[in-house]
Structure 1
Amino acid sequence: MMPSPYPLEQELGMRYYASGAPGIGGRLRSTPADFIVEELPLPISDPDGPFLICRLTKTNWELQRAVKEIAKQLGISHRRIAWAGTKDKNAVTTQYLSLYEVPPEAIEHVHLKDISLEVVGRSQHPLALGGLAGNRFDIVIRDCAAEGLAERVRAATEVASAGIPNYYGLQRFGVVRPVTHLVGESILRGDYEGAVVTYIGRAYPLESEEAQRARSRFAEDRDAKAALAALPVQMTYERAMANHLAGNPGDYAGALRVLPPKLLSLLVSAFQSYLFNCALSRRIEAGLSLAEPEVGDRLLFSNGREDIVSARNRQAALLQIRRGRCRIAIFVPGAEPVTPHGRTDEVMQDLMRERGIGAEDFERASRFVATKFAGALRPIALSTEVEAEVSGANVRLRFTLPPGHYATTVCREYMKADPYVMI
C-alpha cells in the first residue's frame, strides 16, 4: 500500500493506494463523453403498477436539477420522482426513474436540452437508492504520462482485479466543494446554524470569484438578504436557504428543510461515508489485509448474509473470500447501539468518540430528516475485471461495478493524480 500525497484525499479519509507502482497521470472528463455510465436495472415486470418507469439519458446535468426540470415540465412535484442511483454531472449517464401516477403520453411533452426520457415499463413500487444491479462504465483518461504507459496500465489492471481499497469517491462529498460530510456532521450535532453556514458559506478555490465572495461574506456576517442578492442564480439550493432565512431570521432548521428530502438525507449519510473511509485507512495503517480476515472481522456474503470471523471459522472464511462468495466489510454505525467484535469495529468506535458522535445523534438526525439512519456493512475491497486499451497518450477503461461502488476509485488507482483532475 502506498500513501496518497494529496491533502484533499487525506482530508476525506482516502489515504492509500493498493500498490506502490507509479500512476499514469492524465485527466478525466475532458468532455462529458469521456465518462459514460449505464445503469443496469433490476427486472421490471408489473404492467399495472402506479409508477411509470423511464430511462433517463442526460449529458452534463446534475441529477437533482434534472429531476426538478422534468417535474416542472410535467407539472408535478419533484417528490413524485425517484431513482436508484445518483450519477455524475460531468458525464453521459443512462439511468432509470420512477414517476408516480404519470401517464406514459405525458413523457412526450418533456423537451430539455441534452436530456432524453423513454418509457420502459411500470412498477408497483418506486425506485429506491441502491435498487439496481450495478453500473457499466466506459471511461477515457487523456494526456497520460507517455513513459512506460502500457506497462503501468497493465500493472494497474492486475491490481484492480485483485482488489483495491473500496473508498467512497470524491463526488460522494461534493465535486467542486467537498462539504457534504461536514454539513451532515453539523446536523448530527444538532448545530443547524453551523450546517447552513457550511452549506452556503464554505468557499472553495475551483468556484468562480463571484461565488467565493458571496459565500465568504455570508460566513462572516450571516446576512441572508445580502447573500440572496450576491449568490449566483445557478446556486438554487443556497439561494432557497438564504431566501428562507431572509423571511425567517434565525430559523436555520427551517432553512435546511427547504432542501429536497433526499439531498438532506444524503448530507447525513455522507458523514457515514467519511467514517468508512477513515476506518478503512486506519485498518490499512495497522497492516491488516483487504482479503485475509482476522478474528472479529465482519463478512458480507453476495446474498446479503452476514457473519463474524472467529478462530474456529477463520480458515473457512478465507476460502470463501478467495472464491468470491463474501468480502471483509466494515460496519458503519447509525441510530442503533453496536457491539464491537474486532479491531476494525474498535477503530470505528474510536472515530465516533473522536468526533463526539453517538447513536443518539443519528436518532435525532433521523427524526429531523425523516429518514432512518441505520447502520450498514460495506466491503473494504473493490475488485473488477477492467478492459483497458492504450491509444497514444489516452487510456480507455471499460468495467462494471456493483451498486454504491465508485468508478473514480478505480480510476485513481490507475492515475495516482491530484483528485481535482478527476472531476
Structure 2
Amino acid sequence: MRIKQKPEDFSVKESYRFDEAANGRHRVYLMDKQKLSTFDAVNRLITKFGLKPGSISYCGLKDKQGRTEQIIAVDGADVDMQEPDLRLKFLGRTDKALSARNITSNRFSVTVRALTHDSLAPLNLATAEVNRLGVVNYFDSQRFGALKHGQGFIAKDIIRGDFEAALHNYFARPSELDRTEDAKVKGFWRDNWGQWDARVPFEGAKKYHRILRSLRDHPNDWMRAFLQIDSDYRAMILFEYQSYLWNEGVRRYLQLLLPREHMFPMRYQAGTLLHFRDASPEVLSTLRDATFPLVGPDSTFSDPKVAEAMAWVLGREKLKLADLRIKNAERLLYFKEEQRPLLMSPHKLVVGRTQNDDVNRGDIKVNVAFTLPPGAYATLVIKRLFHFEYTEDTKDEVRASQRPRLVATERAEAHVEAAQAAKREAEGPSRHRTLASRPMRLARPPRGLDAPSAPEGRSDRSDRAGSSRRDERSARPARAPAPPPAFTAAPVPEPEIPLGFRAKQQKRKDVKAEARVEKAEKQRLAAAKSVKKQKRK
C-alpha cells in the first residue's frame, strides 16, 4: 500500500469556530496549503509581509504531505496570498488569538494506492475492529521530523543543559533527505561553526538572523542564543520528546493490561508501536475512559499501572521527573503536563469502492474518509486499517520518491546556468569566457627530418652553428631515428574563477597585513635617518 503519492491523495479540512468581532484586531483567514507544513506556511507569510514573530496564531499543526485547510489569525495586519501552494480567504475578525479551543474536529479524505484484490478481505476485518475497538491515540511519525532528518531529540540536549549541542543540532546539522536551501544554510554553519561573522551566501539564512546576532554579541551564551528561536518552535522541540515518552508509556501500559496474543507491533519513525485486535469487555471499558499523561516535572499518577509504565520509561531514558525542569529557563522552556485520551474513535468512517490505480498500473486504489477529534493522527487510522501490509519507508525509499522533484530541480538549475553563460557570451570578451570560446594555439613543431625549413631571415651564423652540431652528432653511434611527435595543442590556461566570499576576505586581510608591514618598515627607516641626522649635528 502507498499513501500521499499525490498531494490530493491526503486531504484534511478543519471544522472551526471563533467569536467574530467587527473591529477585532485579529484577522481570521482560511489557509489552503499543499506540500507545506504549518510552520513553513506561517514563516512564508511572516517573511513576505514583514510581520513580527508570533503574530500569526492557529489551532494546530497540519500535515506537510497533502492538501490541508485550516484557519489562522493575523494580529493587526491585512494580508493576502494567492499562490499555487498557499492561498488565503478572509473570514472575519476576532478579539482573541486562535488556539486549540477554536477547533472542533478534522475531516480527512485519504486515497490508499498500490493495493491488490487480496487486500480487500483483511481490510473488511480491520474496519470492523476499528469500529468496535477504536485506535490507540499514539503520536505518529510526522511528530518526529527531527529524527527523520537526523537531528535527534534536541530536548535531550536541553535537559542535560548542553545548549551548544542543542543549537548545533537545530541549525548546523543538514538532513540527507532535505534538498531545500535551508539544508545548504545548515551545511554552511556545520562547516563554519563558531565563525559567526561569516557571511552565508544563501537567502535562507534570514531564518536564523536573531540567533546569529545573539552569538556575535554574546559568543559563549548558548542559552541566550537558543531562546532566540521562535517560541512556538521551541515548544514543539520539547513537545516532540514529551510525545515520545507518552508513546513509550502507553505501549508499556498496554503490555500490563492485555495478553501478548491480542497485540501486534507496527514500526514507526521513533521505534515500535503496539496495537490490539481484541480485548475483554472490562479492559475495553477501562481503555475507552482512560487518559494517559504527557508528563512534566510535577506529574503525579493515581493509577498504579500508569505509574509503573512511566517509571519503566523514565528508567530506560535514565531520567527522573525532576530532570524535566529546565534550570535557569523555567518560564521559557518547560514541559507542560496534560492528559491525552488513550483511544480515539474515527467517526463517520467510510471505505469507498475500489478503482483502478492511475499511478501504479495493475493495482487498485480505495478512498477512506473519516472524522477525528483535534490532535489525533489520520495516518494512524490508515495504518491500523491496512496493518497487514503497511511498512515504514526507509531512507532509500524516501530518496527514490523525491527523485522526480530532484530531476526537475536539476533541470531548472541547468537552465539558469545556460542563461548565465549566454549572458556572459553576449557581454563580449571578458575573464569569464569559457574554454570553448577561446582560440586554440598550436605549439611550434620540433625541428627534424620532417620539419619545415627555417623561415627566411635566419642569420648565417645560426645556420653554421646548427651544422657544426649536426657534424658532432654524426660521429656518435647511429641510433634509430625516433618518429617526430605529432602536433599538439598548446595548453590553454584555466579560466579565472571569481573568488568566493571567504577567499575575498582572506585576500583583504593579506593586503592589509602587507600594508602594515610596509608601513612599519618605512617608520623604521625614517627613525634610523633621524638618528643619523642627530649624530651628525
Shift of 1:42: 2.6
Q: Which has the larger radius of gyration?
A: 2
Superposition CA RMSD, Å: 3.7
Q: Which runs of 5+ in 2 are unaligned?
A: 261-279, 357-363, 402-537
Secondary structure of the corresponding residue to residue 88 of structure 1: coil
Is 1:41 equivalent to 2:16 in the alignment? yes
Q: What's 1:71 paired with?
A: 46
Q: Do residues 126 (structure 1) and 107 (structure 2) align? A: no
SS of match in other structure, 1:148 = helix
Equivalent AA in structure 2 for residue 417 of structure 1: T
Q: Do 2:18 and 2:102's aligned partners in 1 also have CA atoms closer than 8 Å? A: no
TM-score (norm 1): 0.74
The separation in 2 between residues aligned to 1:250 and 1:267, in whole angstroms, is 22
In structure 2, the partner of 1:362 is 324
Q: Which residue of 1 aligns with 2:391?
A: 417
Q: Match for 2:355 among 391, 395, 405?
A: 391
CA apart distance, 1:44:
3.2
Which stretches of structure 1, 4 residues or longer, exceed 4 Å deviation after superposition?
Answer: 178-181, 201-205, 208-230, 232-248, 315-322, 419-423
Task: Give, as a single letter, the amino acid of the residue that structure 1 aligns with 2:157.
Answer: S
Q: Report the CA distance between 1:243 and its aligned residue.
A: 7.0
CA distance 1:216–1:352, shift in 2 (3 Å): farther
Alignment partners' CA distance in 1, 2:25 and 2:181: 45
Q: Which residue of 242, 245, 250 corresponds with 1:272?
A: 242
Indicate the residue corresponding to 1:59 in structure 2.
Answer: 34
Encode CA deviations 1:167-221: one digit per residue, 9 max, x unaligned: 1011111178356771122223322122123324555543459988986896698
Cα pair 2:31 2:72 within 8 Å, conserved = yes
Correspondence for 2:446: none
* 1:50 equivalent among 25, 48, 52: 25
1:30 aligns with 2:1: no
Residue in structure 1 matched with residue 111 of structure 2 by the alignment: 140
Q: How many residues align?
A: 366
Residue in structure 2 matching 1:151, options 113, 121, 124: 121
Deviation at 1:278, TM superposition (A): 0.5
Provide the C-alpha distance between the structure 2 equivalents of 1:214 and 1:227, rounded to a whole number of angstroms: 12
Larger % of strand: which?
1
Tell me, in whole angstroms, the C-alpha distance in 1 between the residues paired with 2:187 and 2:47.
32
Note if contact 1:57-1:94 (Cα within 8 Å) is conserved in structure 2.
yes
User: Which amino acid counterpart does residue 355 of structure 2 have in structure 1?
Assistant: S
Aligned-partner SS, 2:123: helix
The aligned residue for residue 10 of structure 1 is none
Please state if 1:344 is matched with 2:306.
yes
**Alpha carbons 1:184, 1:271 under 8 Å: kept:** yes
Deviates more, 1:39-48 or 1:392-401: 39-48
Offset at residue 369 of structure 1 (A):
6.3
How far apart in 1 are the matches of 2:147 and 2:177?
6
Q: Is the 8 A contact 2:31 2:69 kept in 1?
A: yes
**Residues 377 and 289 (structure 1), Cα distance of their counterparts in 2 relative to 1, 3 Å cut:** farther
Q: Which residue type is aligned with residue 31 of structure 1? A: K
Question: Structure 1: where are the runs of 5+ without partners?
Answer: 1-25, 291-314
The amino acid of 1:68's aligned partner reads N
In structure 2, how many angstroms separate the alpha carbons of the residues matched to 1:351 and 1:130? 30
Percent identity reads 21
Distance 1:141 1:235 in 2: 38
Change (3 A) 1:319 1:269: closer
**Equivalent of residue 163 in structure 1, options 128, 131, 134:** 134
| Equivalent position amino acid for 1:387 in 2 | V
What does residue range 155-234 of structure 1 map to in structure 2 within 5 Å? 155-161=125-131, 162-174=133-145, 177=148, 182-202=153-173, 204-208=175-179, 222-223=193-194, 229=200, 234=204
- Contact 1:44–1:121 (CA under 8 A) maintained in structure 2: no
Q: Which has the higher contact order (CA 8 A, sep 6+)?
A: 1
TM-score, normalised by the number of residues in structure 2: 0.59
Q: 1:303-314 alignment to 2 at 5 Å?
A: none
Note the C-alpha offset of 1:316.
12
CA pair 289-396 structure 1, distance change in 2 beyond 3 A: farther
